[in-house]
Amino acid sequence: MLHLLTDEYKKKVEREYAYRVFSVISVGVILLCALGLILISPSYFKISSTHSKLVTERERYAEKIKLRQDDNAVDGIKNVQNSIAVLKSNIQTYSVRDVILGLVIKKQKGISISRFSYSNSKDIPTVDISGKAESRSSLMSFSEELKKNPSFSGVTIPLSSFARERDIDFSLKLSVVSPPLKNEK
């Protein structure tokens, strides 16, 4: 039947046929792409949601690491501060001269001190004093005066020091708690 048509009309039919073939192929390609998008979209959405979860998890871990580093820094600073506080507490803020001067100020009439001995055993400064007291009462009042002083603790006098009434050789031991005030009287 195509033989019966004129050349001009044949060309027109062939052109229409080519357009129809092109249209069918185009529609087929479009339908194939649409079907592919429909079939691949669940995978895309799953990957997209997993990606967003991983991003938020990474940010959360980064925040935790930063906080942990900050906590480590804070802990380190606290440890250093505690160490400094311990070291400061162990530093003696007074000299032996201050201790002896505090004892001499407390010395009363009738007491003569012949020997001082200062030791710092077990981080507790102690002073041993030896001397002579004119009477038992002057020795007792000197001992009581030292016991009242907040700078000294543990003032001990052996009982043998009280055996005699006059011209008593004595020795006493006391622990230094804090530096004696220079203006104490």
pLDDT by residue (tens digit) across 69-97? 777 777 778 888 887 776 666 555 556 67
Query: Cβ(151)–Cβ(180) under 8 Å?
Result: yes
Highest mean pLDDT among 36-45, 69-78, 112-121: 36-45
Tokens coding 82: 């505690």
Amino acid at 14: E
pLDDT reading at 62 higher than 90: no
Average pLDDT over residues 125-146: 81
Note the pLDDT of residue 183: 47
**Where is 33: in which H helix or E strand?**
helix 7-90
Share of the chain above pLDDT 90, in %: 24
In eight-state DSSP terms, residue 157 is -
Confidence band, pLDDT 50/70/90 cuts, at residue 15: very high
Closest CA to 135 of 159, 174, 170, 160: 170
Tokens coding 61: 């871990």
Closest CA to 172 of 82, 103, 121: 103
Confidence band, pLDDT 50/70/90 cuts, at residue 156: confident
In eight-state DSSP terms, residue 93 is -
How far apart CA 150 and CA 75 sit, in angstroms, is 37
Average pLDDT over residues 89-108: 66
How far apart CA 96 and CA 100 sit, in angstroms, is 6
Note the pLDDT of residue 42: 92
pLDDT reading at 101 higher than 80: no
